[in-house]
Amino acid sequence: MRSQAIRYLILPGWQGSSDEHWQSHWQRTLPNASRVEQADWENPDRDAWVAALERAIDAERTPAILIAHSLGCVTVAHWAAQSGPDVLSRVRGALLVAPADVQRPGCPEPLKGFAPVPRALLPFPSLLVGSDNDHAASPQRALEMARDWGSEAAILTGAGHINVKSGHHTWEQGFAHLYRLQSRVEEIARKRA
């Protein structure tokens, strides 16, 4: 995929992504990448987070690929369930990494306003990457979200929450998932041409 033809929107989860997080590394590495900034990373508000994503996508006509982590994945699902066709059509695909199950027992209080997790199919190709030992979503729950959203799924072994704490700083291996998603996006575009 030609870098001039696409932009990457990075969607961190609760508490944002530190400078050491792979999302920050990818933002520095990928061409045409920017972060969807939230007014409050500590006390996320679903409506505000969805509105920030809508503004970021609507700010340019250039098609986007979303790269979401944790609560950012759930934000994408909420946004897709309520956005209009013009803005939805600007998203070519979404890489959804370590989605947070905001309905799980013991879910942190600040995340509960994002429940229930939308179950509608996403109107663009998506790839969900989870882990078999993620505290934020069991592999079964990650697969259920992938099925609901129509996402291709990959469950990694021993990857934790795929963040700095679990040792994922640059997460170079993650680019393989992004490239797989982009190949799928390009294949769909060729079939429509």
Q: How many domains, in total, are found in the chain?
A: 1
- Model pLDDT for residues 32-75, shown as the tens digit of each residue: 999 999 999 999 999 999 999 999 999 999 999 999 999 999 99
* Amino acid at site 38: Q
CATH number for the domain including 80? 3.40.50.1820
- Model pLDDT for residues 132-141, shown as the tens digit of each residue: 999 999 999 9
Look at residue 155 and tell me whether its pLDDT is greater than 50.
yes
Nearest-angstrom CA–CA distance, 81 and 97: 19
Expressed as residue numbers, the domain containing 68 is 3-192
At residue 4 the predicted structure's pLDDT band, cuts being 50, 70 and 90, is low
Enter the pTM of the model.
0.96
Q: What percent of the chain has pLDDT over 70?
A: 98
